[in-house]
């Protein structure tokens, strides 16, 4: 994926090399912070935040483009950092969030197999997309699609539980802004390198971005409201679980 080397890009986009690098650094740094924050909150609250299917999709995306199809040292270096961290997120969810599945004994009992099968199926999905769309295009399309699914799943988890355990407001801020910073980068790629990245401006991609923005903003509002209610009524136990 030589498009990550902006030296090969048109002169118009090369003028934005420093801003693009800064946006990428913020995105990677903020998401690493969120990963470690989720691990901490899982252990502290005996819960988890990221939906299980999104965990499978995300780690499968990293395996597909950071290990199977990798041909760029920067992507591989990022994979070496994010993949182990993502594994820790899954470990924390399995070991400290299992009680969230008291209502579903089958999921609770076969948590490990859920992740194994879910990740294998998700890797197959990403590989099929790469085969049909091409590796570079599938890399971006898969990332945007995963983000949309993640945003919907986060809000669904929050509303279903009616509790903020497993996450926090400042983690939402870094999760939201960490993904938001990719929007101006994608805009620059579409505007100044349309022959390579025009697909990022197609309706389905814009729809995914709208889903991310809408659901993540609503998540922040709902999280703030539920957290305020919890503080007012004292409805959190010491382990972070809601008092019946």
Per-residue model confidence (pLDDT) at position 243: 45
Q: Tens place of pLDDT for every residue, the chain, 244 residues?
A: 666 667 778 888 889 989 998 998 999 999 999 999 999 999 998 888 898 999 999 999 999 998 999 877 777 888 888 899 999 999 998 888 777 877 778 887 888 898 999 999 999 999 999 999 999 999 999 999 999 999 999 999 999 888 898 999 999 999 999 999 999 999 999 999 998 999 999 999 999 999 999 999 999 999 999 999 888 887 654 345 554 4
CA distance 83 to 63: 8
Burial 91-126 (b: 16+ CB within 10 A, else e): ebbbebbbebbeeeeeeeeebeebbeebbeebbebb
Residues 6+ apart with CB under 8 A from 37: 168, 170, 171, 174
Per-residue model confidence (pLDDT) at position 237: 45
Per-residue model confidence (pLDDT) at position 6: 75
pTM over cut 0.85:
yes
CA distance 60 to 67: 10
Residues 6+ apart with CB under 8 A from 243: 234, 235, 236, 237
Per-residue model confidence (pLDDT) at position 222: 96
Structure tokens at 21: 């690098």
**DSSP single-letter state for residue 97:** S
Per-residue model confidence (pLDDT) at position 2: 62
DSSP annotation string for 20-31: HHHHHHHHHHHH
Structure tokens at 3: 């498009």
10-15, Cβ contacts within 8 angstroms, sequence gap of 24 or more: 10/192, 10/193, 12/192, 12/193, 13/188, 13/189, 13/192, 13/193
Helix (H, G, I), strand (E, B) or coil at 95: helix
The answer to whether 111 touches 101, Cβ cutoff 8 Å, is yes
């Amino acid at each position: 994926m030589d498009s990550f080397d902006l030296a090969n890009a048109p002169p118009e986009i090369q003028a934005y090399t420093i801003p693009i690098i800064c946006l990428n650094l913020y995105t990677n740094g903020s998401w690493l912070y969120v990963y470690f924050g989720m691990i901490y909150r899982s252990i502290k609250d005996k819960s988890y935040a990221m939906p299980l299917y999104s965990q499978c999709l995300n780690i499968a995306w990293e395996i597909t483009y950071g290990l199977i199809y990798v041909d760029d040292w920067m992507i591989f270096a990022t994979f070496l950092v994010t993949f182990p961290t993502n594994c820790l997120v899954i470990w924390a969810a399995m070991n400290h969030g299992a009680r969230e599945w008291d209502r579903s004994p089958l999921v609770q009992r076969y948590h490990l197999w859920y992740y194994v099968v879910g990740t294998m199926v998700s890797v197959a999905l990403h590989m099929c997309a790469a085969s049909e769309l091409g590796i570079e295009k599938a890399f971006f399309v898969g990332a945007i699609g995963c983000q949309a699914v993640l945003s919907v799943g986060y809000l669904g988890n929050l509303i279903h539980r009616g509790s903020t355990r497993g996450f926090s407001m400042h983690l939402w801020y870094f999760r939201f802004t960490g993904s938001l910073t990719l929007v101006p980068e994608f805009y620059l790629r579409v505007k100044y390198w349309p022959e390579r990245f025009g697909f990022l401006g197609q309706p389905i991609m814009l729809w995914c971005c709208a889903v991310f923005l809408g659901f993540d903003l609503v998540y922040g509002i709902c999280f703030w409201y539920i957290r305020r209610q919890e503080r007012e009524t004292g409805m959190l136990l010491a382990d972070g679980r809601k008092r019946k």
